[in-house]
Structure 1
Amino acid sequence: MSEENDNVAPTNNENDISMEEEEVTQETDGSEKENQDTSRNEIVEKMFEKLLEKQKNIKKSITEIVDKLCSVESELQLIRDDLKPKTVAATVPEQTDDEDETDSESKTESVTMPTTGKYFVLKHVFKNVTNMKEGEDHWSETEEHIGVEWRIDVYRTKEDLSFFLKCLKLTEIGKWSIEAQWKQALLSKSTENRFKVVTKKSFGTVDTSNGTWGFPKFIGWAEMEKDFLVDDQLTAEIHVKIMETTGIYKDNLRSFDETMEEFSDVVLVVNDEKFYVSKLYLAAHSPYFKALVLGNFNDSKKSEIKLTGIDADDFQNYLELLYGEYSIDEFTVEGILLVADMYDTPLIIRKCEEFLLEKSKKTLKKKLQLSMKYHLEALNKQCRKEIKSIADIKSVLPGDIRDLDPSITTEFLEIALSIQ
């Protein structure tokens, strides 16, 4: 029996060993499981740490971006400030006949003037200024505006800089006059890279007997040298707003006054002058007037509509051309173009361009300026074909080369290189 028992069942010792092995195995399994759990926890913790780190980095990046944006905004504001002309005090000029008594002091406002209507700017950089002799005139190049030639004149007195706008006399047309507002300015950049500007403004009339506007004592010479000379160069500007002209334009070719009332259905008022015209005729030639006189605007229902930003003489010439009279000449073409461009009148623009292409004796520079200002493609193409030499390029360059239209700069460079 004992042998059978020995053969059938394990001894107690064997059972004990098996149990111990099982316990050891369970402990080992438990330990491994615990190690695995610990490992998993560490991995998860590391993942969380990485996520937190990434979140911190993202936060930091966002903060940096915001700071940069704020910095950019600040820089933009500084640029905006730079673009606003700064002023310095200037010597009070002597009273002149064409100067308004209440407006004779140096002004601190921006150089910019309203640019609607007959408005233009002359700009010139005078060189070797410290070598200027007393009483010796220094001129900018002559520029034509509204059919009249203009230029800047500066010279040195004992202690001051004299600064004038000269209108070349129109001897061929008899008596004439031009009433205008104008603003004269000297510009420079200070050490902080900000614009420094001294300005003076006035209004008055030039005419057959006197073609000069300006100030005999614009600024003290020492102050000018200290604050406005850059590499011995002086940048001068004159902004001119023409208010009224007489004797420059020809006599009217057609009437649009009250004698035409029975043939009109709307009155257009320009600077208190009334023009009696037909709504349908205007609308047929101008999308602007079509919307204005036939649209759903408040003005469309009115019998009188006021137009702003143009000159009455220019509008007279514009209407004459629109109604079949040939009112274009060297004096009127620029004003007619201004009105036609403002009121989107292709017929008038085309006729003005044809005049400039075929008949006008204006300079190449003036034609090029008009072609770019009023988008006259055929005229622009003709002008560019005529630019074949360095001398041609120089003849069309503005007083300040930085004012050159970017669209033509590359072409000028290519011409210059090909010649060289």
Structure 2
Amino acid sequence: MADNESGTGDISQSDLLSENQNLRAQKDEIWKQIGLKIDAQTEKLTEHGQKFNEISEKLQSMEKLISKISKVDEDVEPKENSNQDVKTPEKLPNTIDSNVSKNSVPVSEKRFVLKHVFKNVENFVEEGCNDSVSENHFNVDSFIRLKRADNHLAFYVFIHGPKKATKWAVQTKINVKIDGPKQKSKVAHFDLCYETDAGYGFPEFLKWDEMKNEYLIDGSLTVEAHVQKQIF
């Protein structure tokens, strides 16, 4: 009887030990699963944090870009009706030198007209400069100059480049005209690329006597310059 009781006690202790090991294994598995879930959540939070940082950096870059664009717009904004003093070049060319490329195709054209009535033309001083009011069109200043030179009337069109620009070029097509009485008019044309603040035109546009006899109206002369500013 004693042997039977001792055998029963040994089996119960073995089962208890086995069950304890099973519980410990289950506990370890549960902790393992919890650890995996924590790692997964941590990885997601890290990924979201990286995306947030990327979005924040992109927003800052966009703000800087918008700020630069606003500054550029302020710098290039045209100033209409400018009263800037006009500088006179030391020497005017006697010929028209066209730099227009035959294969160049303009993307767009901007047109404007300079018109002025010069008074007391008969009293023009030899080689004296007689200028119309400077006008600002499409961010460039322009004006007409007439001169009395060698018994002729000279006709020039001046174009000054954009303010603060160190290097610029304006491709133009220009028609100049002087109107006389009874619908009489004198017309000429030239194509030119302006690259400096200078005047170009015709040093012998009209003979002086012809101008006085056929184009003056009450001592005044009406002149026009039709300018096409080409953008390539």
TM-score (norm 1): 0.30
| Aligned equivalent of 1:221 | 208
CA distance in 2, matches of 1:96, 1:139: 20
| Aligned equivalent of 2:53 | none
Residue type at the aligned position of 2:95: Q
Q: 1:168 to 1:118 in 2, by over 3 A?
A: same
Structure 1 residue 147 displacement after superposition: 1.0
Is this contact kept in 2: 1:155–1:162, CA < 8 A? yes
**In the TM superposition, what whole-angstrom CA distance separates every residue of 1:168-220 from its partner, at most 9, and x where no partner exists?**
24451110000011100000123xxxx01100001011113x53221111111
SS across alignment from 1:172: coil
| Aligned equivalent of 1:235 | 222
SS across alignment from 1:189: coil
Residue type at the aligned position of 1:234: L
CA distance in 2, matches of 1:145, 1:129: 27
Give 5+ residue unaligned stretches, structure 1.
1-93, 101-115, 245-311, 313-420
CA distance in 2, matches of 1:227, 1:243: 34
Which is greater in Rg?
2
> Which of 139, 145, 150 is the matching residue for 2:137?
145
> Which of 176, 179, 185 is the matching residue for 2:171?
179
CA distance in 2, matches of 1:99, 1:189: 35
| Aligned equivalent of 2:21 | none
- Is residue 202 from structure 1 mapped to residue 194 from structure 2 by the alignment? no
Higher strand share: 2
Is this contact kept in 2: 1:169–1:211, CA < 8 A? no
Structure 1 residue 99 displacement after superposition: 8.3
Residue type at the aligned position of 2:226: H
Superposition CA RMSD, Å? 2.2
Q: 1:99 to 1:155 in 2, by over 3 A?
A: farther
Task: Give the number of equivalent residue pairs.
Answer: 133
Is this contact kept in 2: 1:181–1:201, CA < 8 A? yes
- Kindly report which structure 2 residues correspond to 1:290-301, keeping only aligned pairs within 5 A, or say none: none
4+ long deviations beyond 4 Å: none
CA distance in 1, matches of 2:188, 2:214: 16
Q: 1:154 to 1:99 in 2, by over 3 A?
A: farther
Give 5+ residue unaligned stretches, structure 2.
1-93, 101-107
Is this contact kept in 2: 1:182–1:241, CA < 8 A? yes
Residue type at the aligned position of 1:204: L
| Aligned equivalent of 1:156 | 148
| Aligned equivalent of 1:3 | none
Identical counterparts, % of pairs: 30
**In the TM superposition, what whole-angstrom CA distance separates every residue of 1:105-142 from its partner, at most 9, and x where no partner exists?**
xxxxxxxxxxx940010000000000001110001011
CA distance in 2, matches of 1:127, 1:99: 34
CA distance in 2, matches of 1:204, 1:142: 19
Is this contact kept in 2: 1:188–1:227, CA < 8 A? yes
Higher helix share: 1
Residue type at the aligned position of 2:117: V
